[in-house]
């Protein structure tokens, strides 16, 4: 659909260009035709007049021969008749009126001869002539013939004033009014051609206007398609257009997420949530320049392209945006909401293979920012490229897999009643070529939805099976929420554990999730499938982000792991103690086992013991230990 639209747009563009050129061409041809026509008329006019001038000259000679030229004003009736008959001989269809004027003693022009037959049009001898143009006077003065185009007279085309000169003195002026007939005859022959050129030009111009109108409509509709109706900024669809037009070299890239936005929606309702989104965007716009671009990338995620500038420090810009939102007090119709944002920054997005990889790098940094407690900026450092981004990242993972550099680290989980290790959480690690240990956050996102991801899962499961076979304790394995819905993962679990139900019963699947669950029914169905294979199901990071009480209602869970954000400093935080206490109370009533994770101090440990929690995990009780390589 998008490709079709693009094709249509390209076609419109070409159509508009072609139509423009065609219109120009037809206009040029039409204009040339008109000037050629004009030239033709001029040539005909000149030829016609030249031909008549020679006749006038002959008549002038004849007049001098047959009559006393000095006595023209005193012609007898017969003499006038004879001369008019002679003059009429040089008249033809091209000349409407042919007459001779003379100037009397008072410098008034009067008719001497007139060949006109029509009684109304014929002038009386010596009738005063209203000289409305100066050609008569000029022909007298210059002794040369004069021309006048008779634009104001409907029936006449050109009037010629031809002086009859004798002894270097103008004795009279021969007047000839040329008709439009020649002109009309020519026009009648040329009109169809002129019409054709005219209509072609009009047609082309209309097509040109139409194609530009279509182009304008396309832009108008497209703009609507590309705009997010709520925030009035560009949406994700615009990204491809933007990348096509602009180079990433001219931009720094940021991915921004509104912290705990879900809570705003849950606590105040979606209308307030919308108001918050609009307010945050408006605030960001104030701090962004005209060349910068902000795009709504997801629900509360926004991509910001910051135009590069030598004087610009991208970290300062990101921090400025972050603190601007932090200081913002958003007044919605019903509440005043304070909110923070986290930003993952990729200062050099052009170094990535494509925009998707550039965004992924931002996403990694954003993920780190969130894990570090949100309301912060994390800048991608090129020096750490080998940990988080390289063009060959997938190749590196594949190589690590082939060379058995995918490892397990086991972190103990202590049962508080006996203070014995009852279980280990299996944590995935990757060893790079230099022997550095890479954490899964730095490589797993890049192979999501690939067969490599399934292969890594299989390695961890194979290793877990071997550990279980060698030891008596139980294991916890982490799975992403999406893995629970992944048919390949389910098939893998079935393949490995259908015949090892005894081992499956010693495994707890810890569900991690980074997005809100909408389809509880589907997830519950798949969780039940895992439980039927013998696995226990634990919900990780309970109390943070998306993992909340509604999950306990809709999902049939065996264990919940209370998030580290509630455990950290619990000894000093009475509110956290109360929350944990209520979670434990709920778990007890629902027969769910509770585990507290990220226990890092003695004080936290003792407080949790006082709260009578069943299981504990954290650095205070034991750090993850890397398996020994074979």
Nearer to other proteins, 130 or 589 (CB): 130
Phi-psi region of 56 (alpha: psi -120 to 50; beta: other; left: phi over 0): alpha
Nearer to other proteins, 203 or 549 (CB): 203
Nearer to other proteins, 120 or 553 (CB): 120
Task: Compute the least distance from the CB of residue 205 to other proteins, in Å.
Answer: 12
Nearest to 298 by CA among 361, 375, 357, 236: 236
Nearer to other proteins, 25 or 202 (CB): 202
**Residue 437 dihedral angles phi and psi, to the nearest 5°:** -90, 125
Residue 478 tokens read as 């982490």
Residue 101's H or E segment, with its range, is strand 95-103
Task: Compute the least distance from the CB of residue 127 to other proteins, in Å.
Answer: 8
CB contact burial 580-597 (16+ within 10 A = b; e otherwise): beebbeebeeeebbbbbb
Contact 23, 205 (CB under 8 A): yes
Nearer to other proteins, 130 or 574 (CB): 130
Nearer to other proteins, 115 or 416 (CB): 115
Contact 562, 531 (CB under 8 A): no
Distance in angstroms (rounded) separating the CA atoms of residues 408 and 460: 7
Nearest to 510 by CA among 585, 430, 450, 427: 427
Task: Compute the least distance from the CB of residue 150 to other proteins, in Å.
Answer: 8
Task: Compute the least distance from the CB of residue 304 to other proteins, in Å.
Answer: 53
Task: Compute the least distance from the CB of residue 202 to other proteins, in Å.
Answer: 7
Nearer to other proteins, 127 or 222 (CB): 127
Match 């389809």 to its residue by tokens: 519
Instruction: For the beta carbon of residue 345, count every other beta carbon within 10 angstroms.
Output: 26
Nearer to other proteins, 118 or 519 (CB): 118
Task: Compute the least distance from the CB of residue 293 to other proteins, in Å.
Answer: 46
Match 């705009």 to its residue by tokens: 227
Distance in angstroms (rounded) separating the CA atoms of residues 562 and 560: 6
Contact 48, 54 (CB under 8 A): no
Task: Compute the least distance from the CB of residue 128 to other proteins, in Å.
Answer: 4
Task: Compute the least distance from the CB of residue 289 to other proteins, in Å.
Answer: 51
Nearer to other proteins, 127 or 482 (CB): 127
Task: Compute the least distance from the CB of residue 121 to other proteins, in Å.
Answer: 6
Nearer to other proteins, 111 or 530 (CB): 111
Task: Compute the least distance from the CB of residue 269 to other proteins, in Å.
Answer: 60
Nearer to other proteins, 119 or 521 (CB): 119
Binding site for other proteins (CB under 8 A): 96-97, 99, 104, 106, 108, 116, 120-121, 123-124, 126-128, 130, 132, 150, 153-156, 177, 199, 202
CA separation (Å) from 52 to 60, 350, 580? 12, 82, 120
Residue 478's SS3 state is: strand
Residue 190 tokens read as 């040329």
Nearer to other proteins, 121 or 382 (CB): 121
CA separation (Å) from 47 to 34, 42, 536? 20, 8, 111
Distance in angstroms (rounded) separating the CA atoms of residues 73 and 69: 9
Task: Quote the radius of gyration of the chain (alpha carbons, Å).
Answer: 49
Task: Compute the least distance from the CB of residue 256 to other proteins, in Å.
Answer: 57
Task: Compute the least distance from the CB of residue 156 to other proteins, in Å.
Answer: 5
Residue 105's SS3 state is: coil
Phi-psi region of 354 (alpha: psi -120 to 50; beta: other; left: phi over 0): beta
Distance in angstroms (rounded) separating the CA atoms of residues 516 and 548: 10
Task: Compute the least distance from the CB of residue 346 to other proteins, in Å.
Answer: 59
Q: Do the bridges between strand 336-338 and strand 341-346 make them parallel or antiparallel, or are there none, so unpaired?
A: unpaired
Nearer to other proteins, 129 or 530 (CB): 129
CA separation (Å) from 131 to 110, 111, 136? 9, 11, 7
Residue 594 tokens read as 């509770």
Residue 49's SS3 state is: helix
Residue 12 tokens read as 């419109």
Residue 258 tokens read as 């509104």
Residue 309's SS3 state is: coil
Task: Compute the least distance from the CB of residue 331 to other proteins, in Å.
Answer: 59
Nearer to other proteins, 156 or 465 (CB): 156
Angle at which helices 236-245 and 181-226 pack, to 10 degrees?
120
């Amino acid at each position: 659909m998008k490709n079709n639209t693009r094709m249509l747009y390209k076609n419109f563009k070409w159509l508009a260009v072609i139509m423009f050129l065609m219109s120009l061409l037809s206009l040029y041809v039409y204009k040339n035709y008109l000037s050629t026509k004009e030239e033709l008329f001029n040539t005909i006019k000149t030829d016609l007049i030249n031909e008549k001038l020679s006749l006038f000259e002959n008549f002038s000679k004849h007049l001098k021969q047959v009559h006393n030229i000095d006595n023209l004003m005193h012609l007898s009736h017969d003499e006038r008749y004879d001369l008019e008959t002679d003059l009429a001989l040089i008249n033809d269809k091209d000349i409407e009126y042919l007459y001779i004027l003379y100037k009397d003693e008072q410098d008034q022009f009067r008719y001497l001869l007139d060949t006109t037959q029509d009684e109304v049009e014929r002038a009386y001898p010596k009738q005063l002539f209203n000289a409305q143009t100066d050609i008569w006077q000029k022909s007298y003065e210059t002794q040369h013939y004069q021309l006048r185009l008779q634009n104001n007279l409907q029936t006449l085309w050109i009037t010629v004033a031809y002086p009859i000169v004798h002894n270097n003195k103008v004795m009279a002026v021969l007047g000839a009014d040329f008709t439009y007939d020649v002109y009309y005859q020519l026009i009648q022959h040329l009109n169809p051609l002129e019409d054709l050129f005219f209509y072609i030009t009009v047609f082309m111009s209309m097509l040109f206007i139409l194609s530009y109108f279509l182009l304008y409509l396309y832009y108008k509709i497209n703009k609507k398609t590309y705009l997010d109706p709520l925030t009035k900024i560009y949406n994700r669809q615009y990204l491809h257009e933007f990348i096509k037009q602009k180079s990433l070299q001219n931009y720094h890239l940021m991915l921004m997420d509104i912290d705990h936005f879900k809570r705003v929606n849950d606590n105040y309702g979606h209308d307030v949530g919308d108001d918050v989104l609009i307010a945050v965007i408006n605030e960001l716009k104030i701090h962004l320049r005209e060349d910068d671009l902000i795009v709504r990338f997801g629900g509360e995620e926004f991509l910001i392209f910051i135009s590069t500038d030598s004087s610009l420090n991208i970290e300062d810009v990101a921090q400025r945006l972050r603190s601007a939102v932090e200081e913002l007090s958003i007044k919605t119709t019903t509440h005043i909401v304070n909110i923070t944002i986290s930003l993952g920054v990729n200062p050099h997005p052009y170094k990535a293979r494509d925009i998707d990889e550039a965004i992924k790098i931002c996403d990694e940094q954003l993920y780190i920012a969130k894990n570090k407690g949100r309301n912060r900026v994390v800048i991608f450092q090129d020096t750490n490229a080998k940990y988080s981004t390289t063009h060959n990242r997938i190749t590196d993972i594949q190589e690590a897999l082939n060379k058995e550099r995918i490892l397990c680290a086991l972190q103990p989980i202590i049962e508080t009643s006996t203070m014995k290790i009852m279980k280990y959480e299996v944590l995935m690690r990757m060893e790079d070529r230099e022997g550095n240990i890479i954490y899964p956050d730095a490589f797993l996102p890049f192979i999501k939805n690939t067969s490599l991801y399934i292969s890594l899962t299989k390695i961890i499961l194979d290793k877990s099976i071997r550990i279980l076979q060698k030891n008596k304790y139980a294991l916890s394995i982490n799975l992403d929420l999406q893995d629970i819905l992944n048919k390949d993962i389910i098939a893998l679990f079935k393949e490995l554990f259908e015949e090892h139900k005894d081992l499956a019963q010693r495994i707890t699947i810890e569900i991690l999730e980074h997005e809100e669950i909408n389809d509880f029914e589907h997830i519950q169905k798949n969780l039940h499938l895992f439980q039927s294979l013998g696995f226990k199901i634990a919900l990780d990071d309970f109390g943070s982000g998306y993992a909340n009480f509604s999950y306990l209602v809709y999902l049939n869970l065996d264990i919940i792991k209370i998030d580290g954000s509630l455990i950290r400093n619990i000894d000093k935080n009475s509110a956290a103690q109360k929350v944990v206490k209520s979670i434990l109370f709920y778990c007890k009533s629902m027969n769910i086992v509770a585990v507290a994770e990220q226990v890092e101090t003695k004080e936290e440990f003792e407080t949790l013991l006082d709260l009578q929690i069943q299981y504990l995990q954290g650095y205070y009780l034991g750090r993850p230990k890397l398996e020994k390589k074979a």
